Amino acid sequence: MAPCARCGTFLCGVCIEVMGEQAYCSDCVAWLHKNGPVSRTLQIFLGLEIASLISIPLCLLVFALPVQLMVGGAGVWVSSRELRRIRQGEGSLRSARRAKVVRVLAWVNLLLGVVWAAGLLAVLFRFRLR
């Protein structure tokens, strides 16, 4: 018999639910699913996406463009993974809105990066052909 990691209720082999390395009762699993903490990964990627959008004027420097594209692509992947975890009951519902915001910002970053790269290539080819 192990106690629930959140409320301390003793658990039998039938009612135990393991999340990570912790044992929880079914009531606490439902509570954690609804009110659990927001994913730190999402918080980091929200900051990265905002920083990448703010630094768009730096994309005039070619070295910032690959960073913007990588941050955008990773943001789409991380937010999709987190939304899948939430649908499967492994993540907190509080993370859902933040995951959707990160996904939108990531797509905006990717779109702006691709448009900037296409414009840069068009200018380079135009001057090269003359």
**Overall pTM surpassing 0.75 (yes/no):** no
- How confident is the model over 37-67, as pLDDT tens digits? 788 899 999 999 998 888 877 656 666 778 8
Query: Rounded to an integer, what distance in angstroms lies between the CA atom of residue 21 and that of residue 16?
Result: 12
Residue-level pLDDT at 58: 67
Contact 34, 91 (CB under 8 A): no
Angle at 83 between CA 79 and CA 89, to 5 degrees: 145
- How confident is the model over 70-114, as pLDDT tens digits? 999 999 999 999 999 888 877 788 888 899 999 999 999 999 888
